Amino acid sequence: MKPDPSHNPPLAPATLHILLALAAEDLHGYGIIQEISRQSHGHYKLGPGTLYDNLKRLMDHRLVIDAPKSSLSEDETRRLYRLTAQGRTVLSAEIDRLHNVVREARQTLNEKRPRRV
């Protein structure tokens, strides 16, 4: 029986951003940092230590793997990372969870009227 990703605890911000960065294409470490900065409009900055610690953990959980080297690659010394199908499932479940949190928050804000002091 496969684990149900919808019952996983919320992802840490660094984990979420790394998985999002890898959702569209295979990237090397610096490419992941650049993509996270682009996606967050520069509001979320990830240092190399945090990045590589998280990548190791994600690889241990088989959410991210080494991408095969391409013969067309300009820089063969850079290690490329790829989101796995399981990683995509976990990311999708987290996006659904966050969507529900935002929906509930909006509903709560719309229902509550500010108190008059």
DSSP 20-40: HHHTTS-EEHHHHHHHHHHHT
CATH class of domain segment(s) 13-69+77-112: mainly alpha
**Among candidates 4, 14, 3, 5, which has minimal Cα distance to 90?**
5
CA–CA dist 58, 87 (Å, integer)? 8
- Domain borders along the chain are 13-69+77-112
- Looking up tokens 């013969």 gives 71
Lowest mean pLDDT among 5-14, 31-40, 83-92: 5-14
pTM, whole model, 2 decimals? 0.83
- The pLDDT tens digits of the residues spanning 42-98 come to 999 999 999 999 999 999 999 999 998 764 556 567 899 999 999 999 999 999 999
What residue spans of 1-117 are helical by DSSP H?
13-22, 29-39, 48-60, 85-111
pLDDT of residue 113: 67
